[in-house]
Amino acid sequence: MTANVDPSSGKGQGSPPTERVIAVLELLGKNPTTQFSLAEICRRLGLSRATGHASLTTLAARAWAVRDPAT
């Protein structure tokens, strides 16, 4: 399998859902000490609340993100 990616663009031409999940991971990875609310992540990335919630629920289930039990 070959990747269809222009290295200068910083983005692939793959599936939009995958691109959204990667955007969430990049946001969290670039800000490891910051606690973001769902609303803040959605605002920063231009995601709907439903999409953000689904992405974060999946990431948390796989231990890629941690939900603050106090919220």
pLDDT at residue 47, as a whole number = 98
In a domain, 6, yes or no: no
pLDDT at residue 4, as a whole number = 52
Q: Which two tokens stand for residue 61?
A: 């289930």
Give CA separation, 41 vs 7, 13, 17, 26, in Å.
Answer: 26, 23, 15, 11
Residue 42 domain boundaries: 36-65
Tokens 């990616």 belong to which residue?
5
> For residue range 15-58, what is the model confidence (pLDDT) as tens digits?
999 999 999 999 999 999 999 999 999 999 999 999 999 999 99
| CA–CA dist 53, 24 (Å, integer) | 11
Per-residue pLDDT, averaged over 3-25, amounts to: 76
How many domains would you assign to the chain?
1
In a domain, 49, yes or no: yes
| CA–CA dist 35, 9 (Å, integer) | 28
| CA–CA dist 53, 27 (Å, integer) | 15
In a domain, 41, yes or no: yes
* Confidence band, pLDDT 50/70/90 cuts, at residue 10: low
Full-model pTM = 0.77
